[in-house]
Each structure stands twice: as structure tokens, then as C-alpha cells.
Chain A
Amino acid sequence: MSRTRRLGRLGGLAAVAAAATPFAGLWLVQVRNADDPMTVRTKLDVAIWMAVFAMPWMLAAWLLWRAWWRRAGATVSEMDGPARLLATAAATLPADRREWGAAMTAELTQVRDHAARWRFAAGGARAAVFPPAGDRAAAIAAGTIAVASTATATLAAVKLVPAGRVFAPAFVGLLGGLATLAVARPRRDGRARPGQAVAGLALAGDRRPCRGHHLVPGRVPLDAPRLPSHHLGDPPAGDGGRPGRGAGRLPVAGSAPAALAGW
């Protein structure tokens, strides 16, 4: 098996594991916090439900990884650790920030010392994953609503659905976090911002379990990972130029996960 293929499979597994981890943690919390000690059968039942909830997220993570790796895997597998870290983080940048990812990746080629390369790549990755927010007020508002929704869900679940006192707040918190992330990602290309509308819907949906109803399906847009253009063999944009707006964006419908969760 080639190195590219092996790394691709490992990366896919890591993506799936990362998507499954919160659900595994939730299962653990659920089992430990049960009023009465759970039987093996009950634990298995809860695990099956968690697997049902987790499956769409795992599938989405794997599809995202696969889409990115098909496009960039051959290049990434030839890089060293720091370059791989930076390229992966830079690939998450929104379209109008992508040239900055290319800029940091190009600068990394100037750093010779191995430790310094890691330091530069880690710093660049931080800047790529958390670029300056375009609309800080909206992000703060979304975050505040997410926290308030989670707190309300906790109180409501304890009062109305004691069995769901762990699951409901955790799920609402997860949705709220994703919604906040969608709002916080800067986009200044003048196009409609489906992420914000979706974030609003998700947060509106967050409130439903607080009233003892079902969770509402939502949609979570994620930026398609993409390497800076020159890593794919194209030259970067010309002087001051910006990559094609909206190019390479792959909105991923999270409606399936949420729909499944909306039992």
C-alpha cells in the first residue's frame, strides 16, 4: 500500500474517531450518572442509541476527509509534520482568507530549524483556525444564545425529562457550539451567509427540548478543507489578488444527523 493511501486511511479513521468521541463521552457520562446502576443490556441499548446518533456525524467526517484527501492527499503525504499541520489548518480558511494560508505555507519553507518549523506551523495553524473574526458582535450574540439555551435545556431536562438531563444539554450545547462557529467564521464576500441563517435555525431548534419537545433538524455548514492553491500546482493569486470567491466551499448538510437526532 502506498504511503499516500495509508495516510489517507489513517486520516479517515482519525476523522471518524474524532466525530465519534463526543458521543462515546456522552455514553460514559450517561452510564456513570444513571440513578440506578445500569444492567449490561441497558448499557448496550444506550450505546446503540449513541451509535445511531453518531453515525451520520461519523459519515460526514469521513466524507469530508475523503473529499479533501482526494484533492490534496498526494501533496500532503510528501510534506513533513509541520508543513502538514499548517496545510491542513490553512485548508479550513474561508475563501477570502485563503491567500493567507498560502502565505504562511510559503513562509514555512524559509524556516530551516525543525523546532522552529513546528513553532511557526503551530502559530500559523492557530491563525488559520481562528482568523480575525469579521463579525465579532454576531459571534458573541450567538455564543450567548448558545450558553443560555444550554442552561435552559439543563434546567428543563432536569425538571421535565430527568432521564435526558445529560443528553439534552450536551446535544443543545453541541448544536449551539456549531452554530456559534458558523457565525464566527469570517466571510466578507458580500454573498448570502447561509451559515448564519442555519445558526439561527439551529439555535431556535435548541430551544425546543427546553419546552419538553423534540429536537429540530438543523443544518451545519462546514468549510470544505482545501489546500492553498499553489500546493495544488496552481500559482497563487497575483499581486493583491484573491482566490475565486466561494470557490471550493462544500457545504455539508447536517440535516441528516439532526433529523436522526430529532427522535
Chain B
Amino acid sequence: MARTRRPSAQTTAVVLALAEAPADWHYGYQLCQRLDLKAGSVYPILMRLADRGLLETAWERDAPPGRPPRHLYRLTGPGRALAATLAAEAATGTVGRPRLEGA
């Protein structure tokens, strides 16, 4: 049975930030800076989103020599749907929050 959990404010912020350019790949540190969140908050959120199939991950292909390839993130279809719901609720000021479908 799928587990449901309400997204936290920080999770919502991460999802909405990723949804601003849904086709683009995003970096973890970039998200930390943009949202002014610590890595200790952002990475667990990214892990959970990936676990639930809301986030697609990939490794940078053309990393310059001497630097490890970076991990890239973007929302999947269900992730974008969740972002749309969150954005709509944020716009209308709805109190209730959508639930994340757990894997």
C-alpha cells in the first residue's frame, strides 16, 4: 500500500525551485544557495523525492579533467504534477497540502 506523507515547507520550496525550469538539470549546491538551505536539509529531501519517483537523477557527462562529475536533478512527470499542485495551492493560499505518494 502506498504511503502518503505531507511535504514539508522545505520540500515544497525544493520542488517549486526545480519546477521553475523543469526541463533543465539542477545541481545540489545551486539549490542550497538559491533556497538558502543547508546541504543537510536539501540532500535528504532530494533523496526522498528520488525514492518516490518524483526526481530524476543523472551524472554530468562532460566533467572537466581533475573534477569529479556532478550529480544532476530534475523533476519527473509525477514530480512536475506535484509541483503544479503545490504552486496552485500556494497561489490560492490553500491551507491543506497535497500528499506525497510513497514508493
Contacts and interface: CB of A to CB of B under 8 A. Distances in A.
A106 B40 contact: no
Contact of A123 (B40, B46, B68, B69): B40
A239 B50 CA distance: 13
B39 interface: yes
A123 B58 contact: no
Contacts of A231: 68
Contact of B59 (A127, A131, A238): A238
B51 interface: yes
Q: Which of B32, B40, B48 has its CB near the most chain A CB atoms (within 10 A)?
A: B40
B71 interface: yes
A235 B38 CA distance: 27
B47 A110 contact: no
A133 to B, nearest CB: 10
B41 interface: yes
A236 B69 contact: yes
A240 B68 contact: no
Given A107-B27, A107-B70, A111-B29, A120 B47 contact: no
Report whether over half of chain B's contact residues are helix, strand or loop; otherwise say mixed. Answer: helix
Interface in B4-59: 27-29, 32, 38-44, 46-48, 51, 56-59
Interface string A205-241: 0000000000000000000000000110001111111
Contacts of A106: 67-71
Nearest to B38: A123
B44 A104 contact: no
Contacts, number: 88
A132 B44 CA distance: 6
Interface of A: 97, 99-100, 102-111, 119-127, 130-132, 188, 230-231, 235-241
Interface string B59-77: 1000000011111000000
B40 A122 contact: yes
Q: Which of B41, B44, B67, B69 has its CB near the most chain A CB atoms (within 10 A)?
A: B44
B13 to A, nearest CB: 16
Report whether over half of chain A's contact residues are helix, strand or loop; otherwise say mixed. Answer: helix
A109 B64 CA distance: 12
21 contacts: A99-B57, A102-B71, A103-B43, A104-B43, A106-B68, A107-B27, A107-B71, A109-B67, A121-B39, A122-B40, A123-B40, A126-B40, A127-B39, A127-B43, A130-B44, A131-B44, A132-B48, A188-B51, A230-B69, A237-B59, A239-B57
Nearest to B58: A239
B61 to A, nearest CB: 8
B22 to A, nearest CB: 17
A178 B23 CA distance: 44
Given A100-B71, A105-B68, 18 more contacts: A97-B47, A99-B71, A104-B43, A106-B70, A106-B71, A107-B28, A107-B70, A121-B39, A123-B32, A124-B40, A127-B43, A132-B44, A132-B51, A230-B68, A231-B68, A236-B59, A237-B59, A239-B59
